[in-house]
Each structure stands twice: as C-alpha cells, then as structure tokens.
Structure 1
Amino acid sequence: MSSQMSVAASARAEWRAIAICLFITIAAFQFGFDSSYYSGILAMEPFIKEYGHYDSASGAYVLSASMQSLTTSIINVGELVGALSSFVVDDRIGRRGGLFVSSAFVVAGVIFQVAADDLGLLIVGRLLLGYAVGLISCLVPLYVADCSPARFRGALVSIYQFDVGLGLLFGVVVDNATKNRNDSGAYRIPMGVQLIFPVILVPGLILFAPESPRWLLTKGKVEEARKSLRRLHGDRPDFIESEILYITGLIEEERRTEGSWMDLLKWNADGRKAYLGMALQAWQQASGINFITSYGIVFFTAIGITNTFLIQMGLYLVPMPAVWLNQYCVERFGRRAMLLISTSAVAVVLLIVGGAGSASDKTLALDQTIVAMVYIFMIVFNLALGPAVWVVTSEISTGPNRSKLMATSTGANWFCSWLVTFTFPYLFDADAAGLSAKVGFIYGGLMIGAATWIFFFLPETSGRTLEEIQVMFQQGIPARKFKTYQEIDMTRQLALEEKEGAHVTEVDHV
C-alpha cells in the first residue's frame, strides 16, 4: 500500500511532465498510420488500376512484386536518412525544434502523394514522409527520456509503441471506410488524413511543450532551461535549482571526454553502446513485423482469407492490452527478461506459420491457423519486442555521444525495416520466389538467433538512472552483471542521492 501511495504521490508531483511526454508521443501516430494505410490501398481497385498493369492471364489489373516493393519500401529510405540526420537537426535546433521540422515534412509529403498522378510524384511524397518519420523515431524517445521523471521513464517511452499501434489501427479504420469507393478518393482520402497529426502536434509544441532542459543546458541557455523545468515540474524553486546544478555537472563531465563519431567505431564504452543499440533494433525488424504492417492485407488476401480489412483492424486492436502490460512488466521483471520471453514466443509462432504454409493440402483450418498465429504474433511482439527495444535504446544512448548513438541505432532500425519491406514481395509473391506463408520459417529462425543474442549480450537497464548506466558502460561491466552491480563512483552517487532527496522533499510537500 505504501508503495502504491508513493507511486501516486510521485505521479501527482510530476503530472505536468507526464502529461507533456504523453502529448509528445502523439507524433508516433504518424509512423503507425503510414505503415497500415498503405498496406490497405495496395488492395484497392482504383489504386491498382492507377499504378498497376493489366494481366491478360487473370483478366484483371495487378500490382507487380517490384512495384509493391518499390513504393512500400521507399519510405524506409527516407526514414533512414531522417534517422541518421536527426543528430544534426537535434544538435542545431533541439528535440522540440526537430519536431517542427518533421511536421513540415509531413505536410509536404502528404501534398505530393495526394496530388500525384504518376509514380514519380508518389515516390517523392513517400520519401518526404519517410524523412519526417525518421526524425520522429529518434527525437520523440530522446525527448521523453530527457523530460520524464526517472520513475516513469520506461512506461512513458513505451507509450511511443502504443501510439504507433493506435496509428496502425487508425490507418486500417480509414481504409475500411473508403475501400468501396470507385474513384481515386478511395486512396487519396487516407493519404490526406495524415495532415491531422501535425495539425494537433504543432499547436501543442507552441503553447505548452518546452524544449528539453538537458539540451538547453548543453547550449548554455540556463534561464531557458529554468523555464523549461518550471513548465515540466511546476514552480518548485529548490528542486529546479538542484536539477540545473546536477545536469550541468554531468554535462561538464561529458565535455571533459568530448565525444565524436569515431568513438562509435571503437570497441570502447560508446562503441559497445552503438553495437548494442544497432543490433537490438535490427533484431526487432528481423521478426518480420513489417511484412504484417506493410503487407498484411495483401498477405491475407493471397492465402485466401476474406474480410481482410476487418481482420487487419482486429490485428491492431488485439495487442493493445499487451502494450499496456509491457509498461508494467518491463519495470517489474526487467527489459532483458521480457525481451527473452517475447522473442522466444515470436519464434515459436512464426515457425508454426511456416509449417502451416508448407502443408500440401490447403484447407480452411490451415488458413485459420495462420490468421490465429499472426494475431498471437502481434500480442507477443507488443509484449516487449516492439516497445521495450525503444526503451532500451533510449536508455543506453548516454554520454556526450547520446544523439549520435540514438541516430545510429534508429538508422539500423530503418535500414532493416527497408530490407524486410523491400524483399518480402520477392519472397512471398507467386511471380517471384512464391514462398507464401513459408516465410515464417525465415523470420522464425532469425528470432531464435535474437533470443540467443539477448541472453548473452544485452545488459539489464531497468531501475538505473541514465547516469548510472553511463558509469557502468565506462567501467566495462559485463552484460550479465548490470543488474546486480553496486559499486557506483562515490561522487556521482552522492549527486544522485542529493537529487533524489530534493525530489522526495518536493513530493512530500505536494
């Protein structure tokens, strides 16, 4: 009971910071919506007639595997560029400033796609939109990790994945509402709906969401950082001043060991963090999640399932409780344990999908088994592999190279996302390799590798401040000892205790 009261008291004291972080994660809707809505329009007759070709053998218009691959995966190229350039954007104009830039690119990308009357303009629009999503995928977790109270950081960063899931669901809902239209509005309306997200986000950025106080202090903007902390934590002068002194001290220490891109290429603390972040993001995409989000409706249609839009809608609705459960589990049981459970379960499910797809006699029962397994896949993926990866990569991106580390790990995510999205039609479609549901064997085998890697190499970061995580990497603590390691540098420990004491005092006065 006292623990519950403590959590409630902390939430009351930090309600402003929590609310602002929740609002910022709205940007993740953009990522989810684009992935799912485009999967839907690939199955719409007006879109197929506009961008496909007439197949005399079937007597219908079809989209070739190469056309599906190009237009679906090209957004990942933009996302990769956006992620890698996020360091420059973040360094020059900040986390909040970068979200203004991403909103501008969303608007430009939507205009190009809606106005497109040929493949070239469609590709340009998807590239611009991808650049925006690439920025969002780096800057939102960084902003939330900077501004959220340490006690709620894991849960708040996990909300990013939850909002991606809501965006996925919203995309299919809009597709389902327009799929029966016989004109170009069937696909142009879902394209245009994406303007909703910057229309909501930009006013909030202007009116109440401050820049990251950590970023402001790195630029020497102390008074602005003080205002930012006041916006996040309320008028609590003692706490704000202690926070400024604490963060400033950390920044000065980081500058004494000034970072560079070359540090990420050496096997030192930052090189290890870069490797872990990129590998973890790559393993997430190796699950094949993009073949479901980018081609789900095409996948279900190809194996003979009807009511594909409704099935896809349910596919994004069912795992929502798992995302919420993850926010409890990653704090209660740890990031590493939950990722092991999630990757192992995903491996089993995908191998069953591959087995069902290998049967010589195709039956309704087998098709239903595949659909059921895909539903279970979405549940166990969102239990940890989806949201917890973003939590861990934002937590291990510490020290003077923090933005660079986040950019490289997220860049790895988008590169592998592109790889899966680009290759899937060639693996799945009948006019290419024709594997159909047997692709489950490929992704399932990769997930066995992911579980093995996590067991041996991934450190446990739950219950640690960003500063403690930085110290453990600097001291070269093995992954298996992160959870129990106690010998934190005394100077840092005293600073941490002073900060915690100030925080507890403020909470007691609420």
Structure 2
Amino acid sequence: MSFREETEEARDLKKPFLHTGSWYKLGSRQSSMMSSSQGIRDRSISVVACVLIVALGPIQFGFTNGYSSPTQSAITEDLGLSVSAFSLFGSLSNVGAMVGATASGQIAEYIGRKGSLMIASIPNVIGWLCISFAKDSSFLYMGRLLEGFGVGIISYTVPVYIAEISPHNMRGALGSVNQLSVTIGIMLAYLLGLFVNWRVLAVLGILPCLVLMPGLFFIPESPRWLAKMGKTEDFEASLQVLRGFEADISVEVNEIKRSVASASRRTTIRFSDLKQRRYWLPLMIGIGLLILQQLTGINGVLFYSSTIFESAGISSSNVATFGLGAVQVVATGVATWLVDKTGRRILLIISSSGLVISLLVVAVSFFIKDFVSNDSTLYTILGILAVVGVLGMTIAFSLGMGPIPWVIMSEILPVNIKGLAGSIATLSNWLFAWVVTLTANLLLDWSSGGTFTIYMVLCGFTLAFVAIWVPETKGRTLEEIQRSFR
C-alpha cells in the first residue's frame, strides 16, 4: 500500500467524526487491541457524560420549583405581598412553562435537542435576574414567567434526548436521572435558602444554565433526530461516539433507518388517524401519566412545604423542608437504580399505593388535630405523624410517579407525531401543575385535612390507571415499543 493510499484510508476512517466539533476530536480511532469490556465501558462513559451535561437543565427546573418555599415569608414581607399574590407568583412558573411546553416539541424538531436547550437557557437567566432585582410584584411576576418558559422547554427536551441516546438496557436508569436532577435542584434551593436571602438565591439560580450553555458544545446531537433530518453521515458519527469507537453499530443504524423510513411515509397525521390504536393508546398513556403525576399534589407540597410543616407544629420549618428535599433526592436515586432492574410498571404501582397510604396518614392527622388542644401530647404526636406522612408521600412519589412518567412519555410516543404529541403531553403536565400550585395554598388555608384527602382520592385513581393501561417497556428498544402498539 502506498503512502497516498494509507493517508486516504485514514482520512476515510476519521471522516464520520469530523462534523460535530470538539467532542469527537477527543476520541481517536483505537485499534482492535481494545477489549470488548473496554468498549462497553467507553460506551457507558460517553452516554453518561452526555446525560450529566443535559441534567443541568432539570437542576434548573428543580431550583425553580423549590425557590418559592424557603423565600415565601421574606418576599411577602419585603414586597408587601398577600397570600394570594404569592400564590400567583408561585404558580406563574407553570403558566410560563405551559407556553414553553406548547413550543417545545416543534422547537426540538426544527433545531434539534441541543439547540432547544440553548434557547431554553436564555429566558431562565433573564428571569432569575428580574427576580433578583425586583422592587415590586411586576418584575417578580415577569421573572417567574420567563423562568417557566425555559423550564417548559427543558421538561420535554431533556427526557427525549436522554431516551434517544441511551442503549435500551440503560435507558430507564439514565432517563430517571432527569427527575433525580430535578430533586437535586429542589434540595439545593431549600439548602441555600437557609443561608442566603431571596435576592442572592435568585442569582444563584442562574448557575446551572451558565454551565449548561457551553457544555452543549461538547456533546453530540441526538442520532435519531439527525437520522430524521436526513443527516446520515452525522447520524452515524453521533451514534458511533455514543456507543464507543470500536462498537459495531450496524444493527442499530439499520433499525433506526427503518423506523425513520416507516415514519416518513406518513408525515401528515389526520385527526381520523388518531382513532388507530397505534396512536390513541400511547397518547392516552403518556398524557394520562403526566397529568396524574401532578394530581398527586406533589407540587403543592413542595412549593408550600414550610407552610405545611408550620401547620403541623414544626418550629424549624425551613430545616424540615431541606430534610424533605434530601429525602426526595435519596428516594429518586433508589428509583434510578431500580428502574432497569424491576421495571417501570411495578414501580409505578408501588409508588401509587404508597402515595395513597401516606396521604391517608396526613389527612387523618390534620383532621384529628383540629379537635385537640395545642398544648397536649396528642397534638405533638399528630404533628409528627403528619410530617412522617409527608415524608412518606415524597418517598413514594420519588420511587415511581416522579421519574417514570417522563421516561415512559419519551419511550412510547410514535416518532412521526413525537414533536406534537410530546408538546401536548408536556403542556398537560404543566397545566395541571399550575392548577395544583395555584390552589394548594388556598386549599391549605381552607382545610389541611381536606386538601390531603382530595390528593389521596386522585392517587387512588392513578393506581387504577397504571394497573389497567400502562405497559412494561423495560429492556425494549424504542422501535420495538412503538411496534407493540400496532
């Protein structure tokens, strides 16, 4: 072989990896001396590194959710807000998220998963600055709306990106990192809220997005999105980096190409097509789970946990709130470890059952407290029991209903309607999050026991929905899951 032939062969080997920037330059095409175990390790490292970078988005999401709890008393005092005005502030992130969710699917389809995350970061940064420098409620509300818009895009794009880059045997665990990151963001807001005032806390909220934006330049785009856009060379290069430079990706490449080709034959979906089982069933399951996730009442508990703990008679409510956030992180971490071992469906059933039992304990505790003297021993015991029930609710939610609806949504939606259907599912989630967040403080003022009774009944309905409709998706490729609905 001549020197010229060697050079051309080397160039051909490297060509697929020259289209996506510095990430691809980090890996050289190693020889066949690499062992298969090393290849598997490289594949895991590549995918996990990508997931850790995009996980900064859900951390921002969680920080936004957790911000209102430790700051309620300080903001209402400094800016003279009423309970209803602060409830509006807390819920406006959900209003902004509904707008972001409406656009998220189309943005992610047209400019890619990375591009949509870049767009989502900008209003988040501006929103936090508006809150930090707010002198009245108008800037406070505007900042919350901007944050919500960015979070709405993040909440759809991150789970979809993770599902599309993950090997099927790691997809559940890596998909659960999305919710784990949300809980870490909530815990950080609770923790930092113990030490800094609300304006400084808002400035600290900028940090996840400031790290995410440059980090996006070092990860590959979703190979499935690239394939759908007809960028065959970039698609194969992206998949090769994600699976390892020595991995044989031919089978997965062909499967993705077949799936994309099948979807492209029917690019226009008529309303009548939604009557087909392949469309209506995954849509109902995906949207239903994301609505029921919010109807558990978890956002009402997380947004106003300090108020709930004060009602239960806990003097150090902010410390208890941080403890709640820490418990949620640990429980979600356990779910991340379990989801690819036990499966999605069984965890959802366990989670829903645990929510019903925990909410029953909280509701009964608050109902009895209304008839007990404040200085009695029973009153103290009931307060502790209510806190235990809230912790149990948080653990149960984190084991299933927190992470898994997002995982399943990203797995089951048909590829040819994924953008539109994903937007509808995410919008539905945020619409009901807004309803729960807006009403929670008012309901708690009406009756703490009654509020938790309502949430308990809705969790009972969730248990029935999961038992009847939700399939198991563990260990199946995205293409296999979508074929099972036909």
How would you bin the TM-score normalised by the shorter chain?
0.7 to 0.9
1:341-373 per-position Cα deviation (integer Å, ceiling 9, x unaligned): 110111111011111111111511111111111
Counterpart position of 2:153: 135
Contact 1:397 1:403 in 2 (8 A): no
Contact 1:398 1:469 in 2 (8 A): no
Matched with 1:289 is 298
What's the CA shift string for 1:300-353, capped at 9, x where partnerless? 223432111110111111233322221233222221111111101111110111
Among 238, 244, 260, which residue is 2:253 paired with?
244
Cα separation, 2, equivalents of 1:261 and 1:332:
39
Distance in 2 between residues matched to 1:455 and 1:352, nearest whole Å: 23
Match of 1:122 among 140, 144, 147: 140
Q: Is residue 2:72 matched to residue 1:42?
A: yes
Specify the alignment match of 2:475 in structure 1: 463
SS in structure 2 of the partner of residue 171 of structure 1 = helix
Residue number among 418, 436, 439 corresponding to 1:423 in the alignment? 439
Cα distance per residue 1:481-504 (max 9 Å; x no partner): xxxxxxxxxxxxxxxxxxxxxxxx
Q: Identity of counterpart residues, as a percentage? A: 33
Counterpart-to-counterpart distance in 2, 1:308 and 1:165: 19
Tell me if structure 2 keeps the 8 A contact 1:322–1:379.
Answer: yes
Q: Could you tell me whether the CA contact under 8 Å between 1:353 and 1:438 is conserved in 2?
A: no
Range that drifts further, 268-277 or 90-99: 268-277
Contact 2:60–2:185 (Cα < 8 Å) also in 1:
yes
Residues 8 and 65 of structure 1: CA distance in aligned 2, closer, same or farther (over 3 Å): farther
Equivalent residue, structure 2, for 1:51:
79
**2:13 corresponds to:** none
Q: CA deviation at 1:241?
A: 5.0
Q: Name the CA distance, whole Å, in 2 between partners of 1:446 and 1:264.
A: 31
RMSD over equivalenced CA pairs, Å: 2.0
| TM-score with structure 1 setting the length | 0.83
**Structure 1 equivalent of residue 19 of structure 2:** none
Counterpart position of 1:439: 451
1:284-433 equivalence runs, <5 A = 284-359=293-368, 360-361=371-372, 362=374, 363-429=379-445
Which deviates further from its counterpart, 441-450 or 5-14?
Answer: 5-14
Do the aligned partners of 1:22 and 1:156 also contact (CA within 8 Å) in 2?
A: no
2:101 to 55, 71, 83: 83
C-alpha distance after superposition, 1:129-185 (max 9, x if no partner): 00100100000001001111111000000011111111111001111002xxxxxxx
Mapped contact 2:62–2:183 kept (Cα < 8 A): yes
Say if 2:411 and 2:478, in contact at 8 Å, map to a contact too. yes
Matched-pair contact (CA < 8 Å) for 1:25–1:163:
yes
- Whole-angstrom CA distance in 2 between matches of 1:10 and 1:152: 12
The range that moved more, 14-23 or 88-97, is 14-23
How many angstroms does 1:268 deviate by? Answer: 3.4
- Cα deviation for residue 233 of structure 1 reads 2.8
Residues 440 and 261 from structure 1, CA distance in 2 versus in 1: closer, same or farther, beyond 3 angstroms? farther
Conserved in 1, the CA contact under 8 Å of 2:312 and 2:386? no
Q: Structure 2 length normalisation: TM-score?
A: 0.87
Residue pair 2:295, 2:432 contacting (<8 A) in 1 also? yes
Change (3 A) 1:353 1:261: farther
Mapping of 1:111-260 within 5 angstroms? 111-178=129-196, 186-206=197-217, 208-236=218-246, 239-260=248-269
Give the Cα–Cα distance (whole angstroms) in 1 for the partners of residues 85 and 326 of structure 2: 29
Between 1:125-134 and 1:32-41, the stretch displaced more is 32-41
Count of paired positions: 445
Structure 1 residues 20-55: Cα deviation after superposition (integer angstroms, max 9, x where no partner): 1232112110111111122111122xx222333xxx
Deviation at 1:12, TM superposition (A): 4.2
Counterpart contact for 1:398–1:466, Cα < 8 Å: no
SS in 2 for 1:461: coil
CA distance in 2, matches of 1:303, 1:212: 47
How many Å separate the matches in 1 of 2:273 and 2:364? 41
Contact 2:57–2:154 under 8 Å retained in 1: yes
Shift in alpha-carbon separation, 1:7–1:194, aligned structure 2, 3 A = farther
Q: Secondary structure at the match of 1:91?
A: helix
* Unmatched 5+ stretches in structure 1: 53-62, 179-185, 475-510
- Cα distance in structure 1, aligned partners of 2:104 and 2:462: 27
Q: CA deviation at 1:451?
A: 0.5
Give the Å deviation of 1:113: 1.5
**Using a 3 Å threshold, how does the CA distance of structure 1 residues 351 and 125 change in structure 2: closer, same or farther?**
same
Q: Which amino acid counterpart does residue 294 of structure 1 have in structure 2?
A: F
In the other structure, the counterpart of 2:18 is none
Which residue identity does 1:383 align to in structure 2? L
- Mean Cα displacement is larger for which, 165-174 or 301-310? 301-310
Cα distance in 2, alignment partners of residues 324 and 124 from structure 1? 34
1:267 positional shift: 5.0
| 8 Å contact from structure 2 (residues 351, 397) kept in 1 | yes
State the secondary structure of the residue aligned to 1:149.
coil
Offset of 1:374 from its aligned partner? 0.8
| SS class of match (1:177) | coil
Structure 1 residue ranges (4+ consecutive) displaced by more than 4 angstroms after TM superposition: 5-9
Change (3 A) 1:338 1:255: same
Structure 1 residue 6: Cα displacement: 9.8
- Offset at 1:261? 7.1
Q: Is the 8 A contact 2:121 2:150 kept in 1?
A: yes
TM-superposed deviation, 1:265: 4.9
2:114 to 61, 79, 96: 96
C-alpha spacing 1:398/1:225, structure 2 compared with 1 (3 Å): same
Letter aligned with residue 353 of structure 1: V
- Shift in Å, 1:246: 3.1
Displacement of 1:234: 3.4
- Distance in 2 (CA, whole Å) between partners of 1:13 and 1:49 is 52
Contact persistence 1:33–1:167 (CA under 8 A): yes
Task: Tell me if structure 2 keeps the 8 A contact 1:263–1:270.
Answer: no
Q: Distance in 2 between matches of 1:314 and 1:376?
A: 12
Deviation at 1:8, TM superposition (A): 9.0
Which stretch shows the higher mean deviation, 262-271 or 13-22?
Answer: 262-271
- 8 Å contact kept, 1:395–1:466: yes
In structure 2, the CA distance between the partners of 1:170 and 1:7, relative to structure 1 (3 Å rule), is farther
